[in-house]
């Protein structure tokens, strides 16, 4: 673990000094040097993730695909979403727009003497072990992800945005980051607040997010793979998550949004809350109203169209509720 951290640190320092720092000085942005150094770690994490996608998960998809890739344009769009998120473009935008606000809030709380939890100090000698604390944090964040994901399928206004993600009919390892940007902002706010409340160190926070994202990329893969009767209940597999995206399960005949298999890493949450579905199917993905017989609803075929239509669904829902009131 120490060796890995040392190598990552060397890569961060080397990339920052040779590329990032000279560019910032040239642009007259020397005031953000310290923050840019921290952001370089996100860039390295993203590059490593994309390397794993291309070198590991990609060959697995070609080995045992669930379906042939027929809509390469949709896949290319998903790659764009992935690059925006994994290479730190979205994180940088979020930093300038929102992070200072949260830093101010938590800084004020500290001044008032209201400190946050430090979970890694609960049991000195045990929970302060990097691997054990990482496992604890992953379990907590996975529960938070489960609850947030379930809320996306419960509240209509959240589904109006989350539908961007589920509208992909050609699901691959690149589909995880296919989201509405407002949905991503709300999600990241929740994750950042939780990380502050439980005292996650910055470096471990990057590792946690990277692990969650990699597992999600794997679970979205166009890969005919499962972990068996008991393994499916221990770790999210491509089959387990594909059932969540199954077009047959997304809406009822009355249009009410339903769902199952919300977990990101550990299906134990779906087991405990009875939202797990273990049918063992590799069915088609998408949303029911996309089908011609259901009206062929348009969710957009370009980045801008998907973002605009997400806002349009949200505003339409708001107007409908205002009229009903």
Q: Using alpha carbons only, how large is the chain's radius of gyration in Å?
A: 21
Average pLDDT, integer, range 104-131: 70
What per-residue confidence (pLDDT) applies to 192?
84
Residue 237, pLDDT above cutoff 50: yes
For 23, counting Cβ atoms within 10 Å of its Cβ (0-12 exposed, 13-18 middle, 19+ buried), the class is: exposed
- Residue with structure tokens 């972990």? 227
Nearest CA to 48 out of 100, 8, 105 is that of: 8
Reduced to 3 states (helix: H, G, I; strand: E, B; else coil), residue 121 is helix
pTM, rounded to two decimals: 0.88
Most confident range (mean pLDDT) of 23-27, 115-119, 238-242, 315-319 is 238-242
Q: Which two tokens stand for residue 146?
A: 């489960």
* Number of Cβ within a 10 Å radius of residue 233: 17
Q: What is the Cβ-side half-sphere exposure of residue 31, based on CA atoms within 13 angstroms?
A: 2
Residue 139, pLDDT above cutoff 60: yes
| Packing angle, helices 72-86 and 33-52, rounded to 10 | 140
With cut-offs at 50, 70 and 90, classify the pLDDT of residue 7: confident
Q: What is the mean pLDDT of the chain?
A: 86
Q: For 178-218, how does the pLDDT look when each residue is reduced to its tens digit (9 = 90+)?
A: 999 999 989 988 988 888 888 888 788 888 999 999 999 99
């Amino acid at each position: 673990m120490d060796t890995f951290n040392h190598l990552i640190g060397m890569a961060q320092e080397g990339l920052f000094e040779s590329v990032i720092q000279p560019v910032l000085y040239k642009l007259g942005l020397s005031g953000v040097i310290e923050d840019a150094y921290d952001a370089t770690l996100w860039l390295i994490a993203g590059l490593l993730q994309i390397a794993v996608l291309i070198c590991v998960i990609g060959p697995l998809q070609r080995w045992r695909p669930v379906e042939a890739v027929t809509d390469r344009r949709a896949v290319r769009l998903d790659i764009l979403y992935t690059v925006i998120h994994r290479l730190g473009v979205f994180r940088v935008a979020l930093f300038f727009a929102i992070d200072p606000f949260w830093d101010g809030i938590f800084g004020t709380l500290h001044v008032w003497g209201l400190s946050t939890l430090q979970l890694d100090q609960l049991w000195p000698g045990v929970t302060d072990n990097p691997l054990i604390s990482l496992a604890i944090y992953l379990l907590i964040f996975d529960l938070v992800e489960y609850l947030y994901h379930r809320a996306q399928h419960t509240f209509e206004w959240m589904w109006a945005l989350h539908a961007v993600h589920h509208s992909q009919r050609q699901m691959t390892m690149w589909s995880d980051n296919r989201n509405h940007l407002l949905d991503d902002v709300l999600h990241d706010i929740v994750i950042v607040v939780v990380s502050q409340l439980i005292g996650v160190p910055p470096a471990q926070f990057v590792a946690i997010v990277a692990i969650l994202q990699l597992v999600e990329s794997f679970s979205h893969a166009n890969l005919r793979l499962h972990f068996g009767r008991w393994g499916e209940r221990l770790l999210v597999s491509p089959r387990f998550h594909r059932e969540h995206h199954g077009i047959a399960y997304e809406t009822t005949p009355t249009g009410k949004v339903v769902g199952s298999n919300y977990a990101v890493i550990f299906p134990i949450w779906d087991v405990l809350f009875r939202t797990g579905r273990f049918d063992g199917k590799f069915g088609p993905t998408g949303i029911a109203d996309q089908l011609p017989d259901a009206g062929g609803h348009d969710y957009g075929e370009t980045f801008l169209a998907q973002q605009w239509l997400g806002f349009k669904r949200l505003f339409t829902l708001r107007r409908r509720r205002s009229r009903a009131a």
